[in-house]
């Protein structure tokens, strides 16, 4: 066995949590001073880990945790139960369960109140929640429709793709929010930010198209009949054309409305000029 | 165990207090062991365990029942510990930058076997938070590198690097303290 093989064997045994082939490695370590030192370090660490693992004190925090949960939980905690759930079936068949409470309640909702382990029903709350679902659904539907309408107005030749920003995976300790990370949740903010960026770029391009169209239209007026080129010849230069251009890394700080106001200014300039031949 | 966990979690979601009890009893040792070893302080660890279980109950719906429950709850615990360590680090930096430094010169050449655990705890306290969490998850919770990678939301290769660096720094600590393995004899030099 050579030194490289010695180290590889030691490394793979540690990583795979398998027992080390002590005889073989010890034999090599006797013939090589650097491997001997490595072997000693491994041995002392293994001994320490063995002692360290045995010395964890035991705890019993079940009562504390559950009572804290029942006291500190924010407001009554409701649990929606499917109609076929075993608990409900038990309440239907088991006479020890308080039927007076469950008979007047909504059939599928139980509520745990503050600082109590018993279940009570609150039909009004659940009914109010059911009523709230209707406007909430309608609002969501409305927002989806508005979103689709806005998207259909974007230039059809461009493809807009969202891209994640502040990639948390590249940095293991990066956190968007503490709570989201601690519970393994995903933070939607970077995606939302990218989406807003893409929308902004879309609207900018829409404004730019409006400027070009109106500029071209302005050339039709008698005042500009000697012009030899059209604005779109410049503005649709090859380097600006093309789909799926990489999105700019830096955001411009000028508001989107500036593009539209530019278009409006041009329109106002064109309108009197268009009127002049008819007058 | 996973199917059993799913059943207990389902009962917790239905509001059964007994199921909550059962869930805490089942995982409190693992969670406490992790917190105790990472934080190195019993009272802090107990408080953290309570926090972890409260967060677990709060977000129980997010658990994917197709995956094992233990890594999921250990993820919450590890992240909670990391947050506490970060807070501690900023606080101690403001108070005393030399807090926790070890006087190597005063170390005894012979350390009893029972003290090895304490020495390891001491050395762990000096490690970077990521190394420490990685080491505890590997050697105490006996999770594989792949599982630790999922818990720490990092690539497996990074986890292996952290693990080896942690082991190296701990071994360096023992070397600096002049601790030699039990039953080790200096080999005669020819």
Q: What's the half-sphere exposure (Cβ side, CA atoms, 13 Å) at A43?
A: 20
Contacts of A121 in chain B (CB under 8 A): none
Q: At A132, is the pLDDT very low, low, confident or very high (cuts 50, 70, 90)?
A: confident
Q: Name the residue with higher pLDDT: A232 or A121.
A: A232
pLDDT of A157 > 50? The answer is no
Residues 71-130 of A with CB under 8 A from B: 72-73, 77, 79, 81, 85, 87, 110, 112, 117, 119
User: In which element (H, E) is residue B50 found?
Assistant: helix B42-58
Q: Name the residue with higher pLDDT: A272 or A262.
A: A262
Q: Name the residue with higher pLDDT: A252 or A66.
A: A66
In this prediction, the answer to ipTM > 0.85 reads: no
Residue A155 has what pLDDT? 47
Chain B contact for A30 (CB, 8 A cutoff): yes
Contact (CB<8Å) B116/A47: yes
- Across chain B, what does the average pLDDT equal? 81
Tokens of A230: 């059209």
What are the pLDDT digits (tens) for A108-117?
333 444 433 3
Contacts of A168 in chain B (CB under 8 A): 153
pLDDT of B164 > 80? The answer is yes
pLDDT of A105 > 50? The answer is no
Contact (CB<8Å) B54/A72: yes
From B37, which residue of chain A is nearest by alpha-carbon distance? A56
DSSP string, B53-104: HHHHHHTGGGS-TTS-HHHHHHHHHHHHHHHHHHHHHHHHHHH-TTTT---G
Contact (CB<8Å) A61/B187: no
Query: How large is the average pLDDT for residues A161-173?
Result: 48
Maximal C-alpha separation, chain A? 109
Model pTM? 0.52
Q: What's the half-sphere exposure (Cβ side, CA atoms, 13 Å) at B29?
A: 11
pLDDT of A14 > 90? The answer is no
User: In which element (H, E) is residue A112 found?
Assistant: strand A109-112
Contact (CB<8Å) B130/A172: yes
Residue A76 has what pLDDT? 41
Measure the CA–CA gap between B26 and A150, rounded to whole angstroms.
52
Residue B97 has what pLDDT? 47
From B156, which residue of chain A is nearest by alpha-carbon distance? A15
pLDDT of A274 > 60? The answer is no
């Amino acid at each position: 066995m050579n030194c490289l093989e010695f180290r590889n064997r030691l490394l793979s045994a540690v990583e795979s949590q398998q027992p080390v082939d002590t005889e073989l490695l010890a034999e090599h370590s006797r013939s090589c001073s650097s491997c001997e030192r490595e072997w000693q370090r491994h041995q002392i660490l293994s001994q320490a880990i063995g002692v360290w693992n045995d010395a964890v004190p035991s705890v019993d925090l079940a009562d504390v945790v559950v009572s804290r949960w029942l006291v500190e939980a924010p407001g009554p905690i409701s649990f929606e139960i499917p109609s076929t759930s075993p608990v409900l079936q038990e309440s239907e068949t088991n006479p020890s369960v308080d039927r007076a409470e469950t008979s007047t309640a909504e059939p599928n909702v139980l509520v745990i109140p503050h600082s109590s382990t018993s279940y009570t029903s609150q039909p009004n709350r659940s009914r109010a929640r059911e009523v709230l679902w209707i406007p909430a659904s309608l609002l969501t539907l409305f927002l989806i429709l508005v979103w689709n309408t806005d998207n259909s107005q974007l230039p059809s030749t461009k493809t807009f793709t969202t891209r994640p920003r502040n990639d948390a995976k590249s940095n293991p300790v990066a956190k968007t929010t503490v709570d989201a990370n601690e519970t393994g949740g995903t933070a939607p903010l970077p995606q939302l930010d990218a989406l807003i960026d893409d929308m902004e770029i879309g609207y900018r391009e829409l404004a730019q198209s409006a400027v070009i169209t109106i500029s071209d239209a302005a050339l039709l007026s008698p005042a500009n009949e000697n012009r030899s080129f059209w604005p779109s010849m410049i503005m649709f230069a090859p380097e600006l054309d093309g789909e799926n251009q990489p999105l700019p890394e830096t955001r411009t700080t000028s508001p989107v409305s500036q593009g539209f106001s530019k278009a409006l200014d041009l329109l106002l300039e064109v309108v009197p000029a268009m009127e002049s031949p008819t007058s | 165990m996973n199917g059993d966990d799913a059943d207990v979690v389902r009962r917790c979601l239905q509001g059964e207090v007994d199921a909550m009890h059962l869930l805490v009893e089942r995982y409190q040792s693992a969670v406490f062991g992790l917190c105790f070893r990472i934080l190195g302080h019993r009272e802090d660890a107990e408080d953290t365990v309570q926090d972890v279980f409260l967060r677990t109950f709060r977000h129980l719906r997010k658990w994917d029942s197709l995956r094992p429950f233990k890594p999921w709850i250990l993820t919450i615990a590890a992240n909670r510990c990391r947050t506490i360590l970060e807070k501690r680090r900023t606080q101690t930096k403001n108070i005393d930058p030399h807090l926790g430094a070890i006087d190597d010169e005063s170390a005894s050449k012979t350390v009893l076997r029972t003290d090895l655990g304490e020495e390891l705890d001491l050395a762990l306290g000096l490690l970077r938070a990521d190394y420490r969490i990685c080491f505890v998850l590997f050697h105490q919770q006996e999770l594989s590198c792949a599982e630790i990678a999922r818990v720490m939301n990092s690539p497996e290769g990074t986890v292996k690097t952290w693990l080896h660096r942690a082991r190296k720094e701990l071994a360096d600590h023992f070397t600096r303290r002049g601790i030699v393995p039990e039953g080790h004899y200096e080999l005669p030099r020819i």
